[in-house]
Amino acid sequence: MFAEIITIGDELLIGQVIDTNSAWMGQELNKIGIEVLRIVSIRDRKEEITEAIDSAMKRANIVLVTGGLGPTKDDITKQTLCEYFHTELVFNEDVYENIKRVLAGKIPMNALNKSQAMVPKDCTVINNPIGSASVSWFERGDKVLVSMPGVPQEMTAVMKESVLSKLQERFQTDVIIHQTFLVQHYPESVLAEKLEPWETALPECIKLAYLPKPGIIRLRLTGRGNDKVKLVNILNREKVKLEEILGDDIFSEEDTPLEMIVGDLLKKKKLTVSTAESCTGGSIAARLTSISGSSEYFNGGIVAYSNDVKMGLLHVSSETLAQHGAVSEETVIEMVKGAMKALKTDCAVATSGIAGPNGGTPEKPVGTVWIAAGYKNEIRTYKQETNRGRAMNIERAGNNALLMLRDLLK
Amino acid sequence: MFAEIITIGDELLIGQVIDTNSAWMGQELNKIGIEVLRIVSIRDRKEEITEAIDSAMKRANIVLVTGGLGPTKDDITKQTLCEYFHTELVFNEDVYENIKRVLAGKIPMNALNKSQAMVPKDCTVINNPIGSASVSWFERGDKVLVSMPGVPQEMTAVMKESVLSKLQERFQTDVIIHQTFLVQHYPESVLAEKLEPWETALPECIKLAYLPKPGIIRLRLTGRGNDKVKLVNILNREKVKLEEILGDDIFSEEDTPLEMIVGDLLKKKKLTVSTAESCTGGSIAARLTSISGSSEYFNGGIVAYSNDVKMGLLHVSSETLAQHGAVSEETVIEMVKGAMKALKTDCAVATSGIAGPNGGTPEKPVGTVWIAAGYKNEIRTYKQETNRGRAMNIERAGNNALLMLRDLLK
């Protein structure tokens, strides 16, 4: 069963907004055996919307459209769909009541909000539980087109509450299984060379893909077929072979964020953690606390951007800073010790580096980051090198710090 | 002048990777007067790549393709392009030397890396300054297709170093001007109602769009034409009218991240800032330090997730915590004072709330966040309500904290 996704909005084409909806939809559709063939982003123009919808309806069984349903003039998806499906907009009392409910206590109802109760006549209308733009479900022959709001929380809410289950009822779907392995310690080409004999021998129904991230490679095995039990067996057989080849370099068999892997480990071992961050600026703490329930193991962190803070709150000695500099193994060791002490935790990570683009020296060029992970009396350090730009240097340092902590706790 | 972007890779369709390349390319192309008509993401399948390229070549003058150039088997873009353009892969000594240079000191050269020196014969090859996949520039009649690596840093590097300037030399481009206004204090529909008379009277060549973010609405005016001076004049006239209608609710006339707006203000006023974060978990510090040069005004921050840390490092009194709870106006006031004192800064922001999905009570439901901004002896507080999911609650609290600090410093 094949779907196409069409996201509508000038903001996507001029690059003001990144399309995150499609990736989320792709994941959810895959889980129920619907494969996404194509994602198309187009402008708010009638002819372009019509052309994209028409091509998609020819190629796919299911067309999911997001965006262009706002109360403002630039949004024209609803009108365009009416023309395409030869229907018209009519006032829907039920949708109007829902809009009143959604807006209650937040903003006063005005004519623009009221206009959102005008919906296509010949379609099934689904109420939006958290927004004022409703969902339109059109049928043509054996194909379905669903138009949804573009605001990510609203789209995910309507998908989860009704669209996904309605699609499952409506279509008989194939089995698609993805399994992702997170691998450390390898550049992509070296890993590919090591895996080549195994990859070449993979059965037809299994596909392998490489997805590198800073400091991590994600290996994805995808199985497709109509017999779930058989497919699971084949996948498991290949999984065992892969584990034999890579051993401990596979640090996860799910595509789980590192902060969640580390969090689960801390929870299991009943340990607490803290952070002492210079160049990563709080991003490791932000990642750890992005996980619901992290208060169980994360006490807190210190973002020690200035040397004063490194000395004052983390008790890094002024001699160490003077002799070795803020970006040094000695400093991150004192930072990690300082964090465990000041924040009273069993373990901690620390970073200090030159994220760039400025601030490098011949001895310590931009991209140099010292990282430490500590657990009780054991401290490990790592010097990250090569500059990949400020944001990537920071992300990679965070990945390395969390991987080091995980290895230390294992 | 019109372009289409084609991003290739199964990972995009199954939602494992979010396509961030297209937005970046859209922004850069707009700056040089090239409008993006459509963004298409497709799988690593020969027929699908060929079909997408062929349709795009019919619609647009310029087709930019990213992805599918890795050394691994799943990547087939190069071979597919050769078939489409009736050419073949040949070994290129120059590209081989570049690959050796790029990999030097990082990983050993192997057969897979060497295969990346095989490039299409009938095209202009452009070296990749930071990676092993080169760029192929094809010409057919008056149209151009450029195939680039999909790794974001490599794509941006080749675009900045050569592709953008080569496109400018090759094509005569129209003038496109975007101006974005950041507006606070309005729900979208209320703002739209207020702006309706002005919007209706906008000249043909100017388009208005609404782009809501948590707590902020971005208003974008886009002008298109062939006479730059004339277009700028028309845009300026409309800008003045908009400023008259919205006054101080416009807090920026550029689509600048809030952390940069606040950073610029701090630099201008020669002030320092710190953060005391509970529910935002370090994300405000991470946002402030994502800006290069932030060490000039950001001393550091304390992520006080546990009450112990709130008391120990920020000196929140145990009485306050016992009497009012961690999520209270009283607590964030003490946190913001504690941050200014402990981190020795002129101003600070503090947050404490229930990010969710768990931990809510009838009095303090999930989504409740108390925020404080302090500057010397003046402290302002705000209670953020309504739950929009953990990630959004955190992002919105960060936006509100930074907006409050900006207002306080103005």
CA A178 to chain centre: 16
Contact B300 A298 (CB under 8 A): no
Contact A220 B12 (CB under 8 A): no
> Residue ranges of the alpha helices (H) in A88-129?
93-103, 111-115
Contact B18 A17 (CB under 8 A): no
Q: Give the H or E element holding residue A348.
A: strand A347-353
Chain B contacts of A281, Cβ < 8 Å? 285-286, 288-290, 294, 298
CA distance A380 to chain B (A): 22
Interface predicted TM-score of the whole assembly (ipTM), two decimals: 0.79
pLDDT of residue A148: 97
Chain B contacts of A41, Cβ < 8 Å? 22, 38-40
Distance CA A176, CA A190 (A): 29
Chain A contacts of B48, Cβ < 8 Å? 37-38
Q: Residue A388: pLDDT band by 50, 70, 90 thresholds?
A: confident
Q: Select from B110, B192, B344 the Cβ nearest to the Cβ of A308.
A: B344
Q: Select from B187, B199, B218 the Cβ nearest to the Cβ of A106.
A: B187
CA B111 to chain centre: 37
Q: Select from B16, B220, B222 the Cβ nearest to the Cβ of A211.
A: B16
Low-confidence ranges of chain B (pLDDT < 70): 105-106
Contact B390 A290 (CB under 8 A): yes
Residues facing B20 on adjacent strands: none
Which is more confident, A109 or A347? Answer: A347
Q: Select from A37, A113, A343 the Cβ nearest to the Cβ of B309.
A: A343
Q: Are strands A143-148 and A62-66 parallel, antiparallel or unpaired?
A: parallel
Distance CA A102, CA A386 (A): 51
Q: How many CB pairs under 8 A join A and B?
A: 326
Q: Select from A44, A299, A386 the Cβ nearest to the Cβ of B306.
A: A299
CA distance B48 to chain A (A): 9
Q: Is the pLDDT of residue A105 over 80?
A: no
Chain A contacts of B391, Cβ < 8 Å? 290
Sheet holding A206-213, edge to edge: A206-213, A216-225, A175-183, A250-252
Asked if residue B211 lies in contact with residue B217, where contact means CB atoms within 8 angstroms, the answer is yes
Cis check for the bond before A197: say yes or no (omega within 30 of 0).
Answer: no
Q: Which domains does chain A have, with CATH numbers?
A: 2-170 (3.40.980.10), 175-252 (3.30.70.2860), 258-409 (3.90.950.20)
Q: Name the residue in chain B with its Cα closest to that of A388.
A: B153
Residues facing A31 on adjacent strands: none
Length of chain B: 410
CA distance A82 to chain B (A): 22
Residue A38: helix, strand or coil by DSSP?
strand
Contact A110 B288 (CB under 8 A): no
pLDDT of residue A379: 98
Q: Are strands B369-375 and B347-353 parallel, antiparallel or unpaired?
A: antiparallel
CA B115 to chain centre: 34
pLDDT tens track for B200-209: 999 999 988 8
Contact A283 B284 (CB under 8 A): no
CA distance A176 to chain B (A): 10
Closest CA to A208 of A238, A183, A168: A238
Distance CA A219, CA A201 (A): 16
Which of A39, A294, A369 is best to mutate for the B interface (most B CBs within 10 A)? A39
Question: Which phi and psi angles does B348 have, rounded to 5°?
Answer: -165, 160
CA A312 to chain centre: 36
Which is more confident, B177 or A398? Answer: A398
> What average pLDDT does the segment A322-329 reach?
97
Chain B contacts of A150, Cβ < 8 Å? none
Contact A26 B18 (CB under 8 A): no
Q: Is the pLDDT of residue A268 over 90?
A: yes
Residue A379: helix, strand or coil by DSSP?
strand
Q: Name the residue in chain B with its Cα closest to that of A209.
A: B74
Q: Is the pLDDT of residue A207 over 90?
A: no
Asked if residue B347 lies in contact with residue B405, where contact means CB atoms within 8 angstroms, the answer is yes
pLDDT of residue A88: 95
Q: Select from A19, A190, A357 the Cβ nearest to the Cβ of B292.
A: A357
Contact B306 A292 (CB under 8 A): no
Q: Select from B107, B189, B389 the Cβ nearest to the Cβ of A110.
A: B189
Sequence letter at residue A141? G
pLDDT tens track for A107-155: 777 888 888 999 999 999 999 998 889 999 999 999 999 999 999 989 9
Residue A121: helix, strand or coil by DSSP?
coil
Chain B contacts of A53, Cβ < 8 Å? none
CA distance A216 to chain B (A): 14
CA distance A88 to chain B (A): 23
Q: What is the largest CA-CA distance in chain A?
A: 79
3-state secondary structure chain B: CEEEEEEECHHHHCCCCCCCHHHHHHHHHHHCCCEEEEEEEECCCHHHHHHHHHHHHHHCCEEEEECCCCCCCCCCHHHHHHHHCCCCEEECHHHHHHHHHHHCCCCCCCHHHHHCCEEECCCEEECCCCCCCCEEEEEECCEEEEEECCCHHHHHHHHHHHHHHHHHHHCCCCEEEEEEEEECCCCHHHHHHHHHHHHHCCCCCEEEEEEEECCEEEEEEEEEECCHHHHHHHHHHHHHHHHHHHHHHEEECCCCCHHHHHHHHHHHHCCCEEEEECCCCCHHHHHHHCCCCHHHCEEEEEEECCHHHHHHCCCCCHHHHHHHCCCCHHHHHHHHHHHHHHCCCCEEEEEEECCCCCCCCCCCCCCCEEEEEEECCEEEEEEECCCCCHHHHHHHHHHHHHHHHHHHHC
Residue A352: helix, strand or coil by DSSP?
strand
Q: Is the pLDDT of residue A337 over 90?
A: yes
Which of A31, A41, A384 is best to mutate for the B interface (most B CBs within 10 A)? A41
Q: Select from A16, A52, A343 the Cβ nearest to the Cβ of B255.
A: A16
Q: Name the residue in chain B with its Cα closest to that of A200.
A: B73
CA distance A137 to chain B (A): 22
pLDDT of residue B186: 87
Asked if residue A273 lies in contact with residue A285, where contact means CB atoms within 8 angstroms, the answer is no
Residue A65: helix, strand or coil by DSSP?
strand
Residue B281's region, left for phi above 0, alpha for psi from -120 to 50, else beta, is left
Closest CA to B305 of A291, A269, A313: A291
pLDDT tens track for A60-85: 999 999 999 988 878 899 999 999 99
Residue whose pair of structure tokens reads 């600048």 in the numeric block: B256
Name all contacts of A198-205 with Cβ < 8 Å and 24+ positions apart. A198/A238, A198/A241, A198/A242, A198/A245, A199/B73, A202/A238, A203/A234, A203/A238, A205/A231, A205/A234
Q: Which are the contacts of A238, defined by CB distance < 8 A and separation ≥ 6?
A: A198, A202, A203, A206, A221
Residues facing B380 on adjacent strands: B373
Length of chain A: 410
CA distance B195 to chain A (A): 10
Q: Select from A293, A313, A390 the Cβ nearest to the Cβ of B342.
A: A313
pLDDT tens track for A15-56: 988 999 999 999 999 888 899 999 999 999 999 999 999 999
Distance CA B209, CA B178 (A): 11
